[in-house]
């Protein structure tokens, strides 16, 4: 049963990624952005935790005219990404580079030093993990003059190959929190837009709330939230 608290949880997360889509995706779906030199036919979502799954859902909710590929680590994340509208799912781990290249026709080249260089890639890549490895991969799989969007909240990345940014002439941007968006010819607050999408059932985020616990069971709730794979968890909430 959906409660006001559950709806609030859904709106908070959806609002954050609506801000991401609004700021990073020019002329994408229902948004009207100004940076027309960036086109989007393919989008890659790296990571299918809460923020990654919400990004997939938001892209479909605004009717983004692009093919969405999601990179997911666990089986339940793959299932949810497909349910929320990803067109293709790639399993994270060994073989993911070859699989991502196949999705775009990109080619991979091994330099004398370092990890592979990718020529080609996706128009738009969302890093929804925030680790040095995911950021490195996000830059690697963004096509020349494409856009890499930092959705996850990283620490200080120390193993990222920054040369990709300049030799591919990438647009790299971070998006955080909420604001006022241009949507359908009107200016609207991010939270209001998220609530509107939920009211109009443009997106159904109920499957993301996977576990509910009593406040007294907080230890098991924390363990469930931290051990995503074994517990098949996404959003863990307290029933109050």
* Backbone phi and psi for residue 203, each to the nearest 5 degrees, phi listed first: -145, 140
Is the pLDDT assigned to residue 47 strictly greater than 90?
Answer: yes
* Backbone phi and psi for residue 26, each to the nearest 5 degrees, phi listed first: -65, 130
92: its two tokens: 């994270």
- Give pTM, 2 decimals: 0.89
Instruction: Estimate the share of the chain in helix, then strand, then coil, as percent rounded to the nearest 5.
Output: 40, 25, 35
Which residue, among 237, 63, 25, 60, has the nearest Cα to 151 in the 3D structure? Answer: 25
Percent of the chain scored above 70 by pLDDT? 90
Q: What is the pLDDT of residue 63?
A: 83
CA angle 181, 36, 149 (to 5 degrees): 60
Distance separating alpha carbons of residues 35 and 81, to the nearest angstrom = 28
- What is the arithmetic mean of pLDDT over 131-143? 93
88: its two tokens: 């293709």
For 147-204, how does the pLDDT look when each residue is reduced to its tens digit (9 = 90+)?
999 987 767 778 888 888 998 999 998 887 788 888 777 888 888 888 888 889 888 8
Percent of the chain scored above 90 by pLDDT? 51
Task: For domain 4-174, give the fold.
Answer: Rossmann fold (3.40.50)
The domain segmentation of the chain, as residue ranges, is: 4-174
């Amino acid at each position: 049963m959906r409660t006001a608290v559950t709806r609030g949880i859904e709106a908070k997360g959806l609002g954050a990624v609506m801000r991401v889509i609004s700021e990073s995706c020019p002329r994408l779906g229902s948004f009207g952005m100004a940076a027309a030199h960036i086109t989007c036919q393919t989008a890659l979502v790296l990571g299918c935790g809460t923020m990654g799954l919400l990004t997939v859902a938001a892209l479909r909710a605004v009717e983004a005219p692009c093919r969405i590929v999601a990179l997911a680590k666990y089986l339940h994340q793959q299932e949810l990404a497909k349910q929320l509208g990803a067109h293709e799912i790639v399993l994270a781990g060994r073989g993911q580079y070859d699989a991502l290249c196949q999705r775009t026709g990109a080619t991979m080249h091994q330099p004398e030093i370092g990890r592979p260089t990718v020529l080609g890639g996706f128009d738009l890549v969302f890093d929804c993990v925030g680790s040095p490895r995911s950021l490195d991969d996000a830059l690697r799989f963004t096509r020349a003059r494409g856009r890499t969007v930092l959705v996850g909240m990283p620490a200080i990345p120390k193993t990222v190959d920054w040369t990709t940014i300049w030799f591919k002439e990438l647009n790299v941007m971070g998006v955080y929190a909420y604001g006022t968006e241009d949507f359908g010819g009107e200016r609207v607050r991010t939270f209001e837009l998220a609530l509107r999408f939920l009211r109009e059932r443009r997106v159904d985020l109920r499957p993301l709330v996977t576990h509910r616990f009593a406040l007294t069971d907080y230890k098991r709730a924390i363990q469930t939230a931290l051990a995503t794979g074994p517990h098949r968890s996404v959003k863990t909430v307290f029933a109050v």
